[in-house]
Chain A
Amino acid sequence: MSCNEKYIKRMHDYLDGDISAEDESLLRRHLEDCEDCQKHFHELNRTITLIRSAERMEAPVGFTENVMRKLPTEKKSVKYKRWFKRHPILVAAAIFFLLMIGSLSSTFNQGTDQLVVSTQEELVIDGDTVIVPAGVTVPGDVYVKNGDLLVLGTVDGNVTLFNGELLDSDSQLDGGNLMASAGGVNGDLETVDQTFEWIWYHVKNFFKGLFSF
């Protein structure tokens, strides 16, 4: 090869579509004059055409089926792992939720049978029923768990009932309408009966606590 390496380099750059307009015109002009380079360039182009015509092959018969048969059948655990990996937030939320339910239901189940009442002296306890006697005003919030509440007097605050209900004073008293209007609650009345509501109550309080800061 007598010709300049520089031009051969330019031929390759040209074949790679990686040549500046300036170099390309230089190469063109040179090819017009230099027979050796013309031959070289022609051979390179021909080589590429020949490479492209090389024997094409097909995969053996049943190739896809063989691959599919050899794929590892996913174990259930792998499937779960993949799923977990893909949804980390969902997994975290689920774990959080499970733990929360666990802890709440354990407090919920603690002493299910025990009657728990807030400590106002005015409240009268009769078996499972807590009575606010007629003509009495109970100061502050009243809290009753695992028992019913009968309000004949007045509660000067909120009333919260867990696992119990507010008894209708009419059905309790023979006299019927005698005291019906006397019993009152000067605040919110909230009855929580089911486990779900119990959780809801806690969640609500939790957020209330959060936002009150």
Chain B
Amino acid sequence: MEQFIKKKIIQVKKGDQSAFSDVVAFYQDKIYQHCYRMLGNRHEAEDMAQEAFIRAFVNIDSFDENRKFSTWLYRIATNLTIDRMRKRKPDYHLDAEIKGTEGLDMYSQLASTERLPGEEVESRDLQRYIHHEISQLPSKYRSIIMLRYLEEFSLKEISEILDVPLGTVKTRIHRGREALRKRLRHV
């Protein structure tokens, strides 16, 4: 896969815009998911994920083909989401937790449109719950936990993506794991 992406990137660099659609198609789910987990809002996640791909395209000449493309792409996406969180206006989202409740957001106030039988509901609810617990972590821990366990990057790659020293990555992943351990202990 790495080779396939590498080939496509070289084509894009040569000016073949259409080759970029294969790159987007390959990474769209990962990047969208990453943005969603960082921002916790579908609409913003889509905007930022799109923006990340557009920036990657515009700056493709500055990408060194000998490095891993995914690391570079995640770095763009992560910086965009962090920027977005800083600028964020305090407005209301369905995903935002309702004050004074524990783990209740506006989605839980909406009537569920689909009813799945027994176990499936349970496992989906659990997945959602885990997602929610991750989203409650401070973003500096959240990003690292996500990159490590959901995107399967090595600690060294994470330090490159976030532009943070390896030692800091280690400290944060320890704290992130401890925080989640406490949150998920009773599951």
Contact = CB atoms under 8 A, between A and B. Distances in A.
Interface of A: 8-9, 12, 15-16, 18, 40, 43-44, 46-48, 50-60, 63-64, 66-68, 70-72, 74, 79, 82-83, 85
Interface residues of B, number: 43
Interface string B23-44: 0110011011100100000100
A79 B150 CA distance: 38
Interface in B142-187: 145, 149-150, 155, 170, 173-174, 177-178, 180-181, 184-185, 187
Please give me the 8 A-B residue pairs with the lowest Cβ-Cβ distance, nearest first.
A59-B32, A55-B127, A59-B28, A12-B174, A57-B33, A54-B130, A51-B149, A64-B24
B61 A52 contact: no
Contacts of B131: 54-55
Interface of B: 15, 17-18, 20-21, 24-25, 28-29, 31-33, 36, 42, 46, 49-50, 53-54, 57-58, 61, 124, 126-128, 130-131, 134, 145, 149-150, 155, 170, 173-174, 177-178, 180-181, 184-185, 187
Given A50-B130, A50-B187, A79-B15, 8 more contacts: A12-B173, A52-B149, A59-B31, A59-B46, A67-B53, A70-B50, A71-B17, A71-B20
Contacts of B185: 43
A53 B126 contact: yes
A46 B20 CA distance: 39
B177 A44 contact: yes
Contacts of B31: 59
Contacts of B177: 12, 15, 44, 47-48
A60 B128 contact: no
A47 B29 contact: no
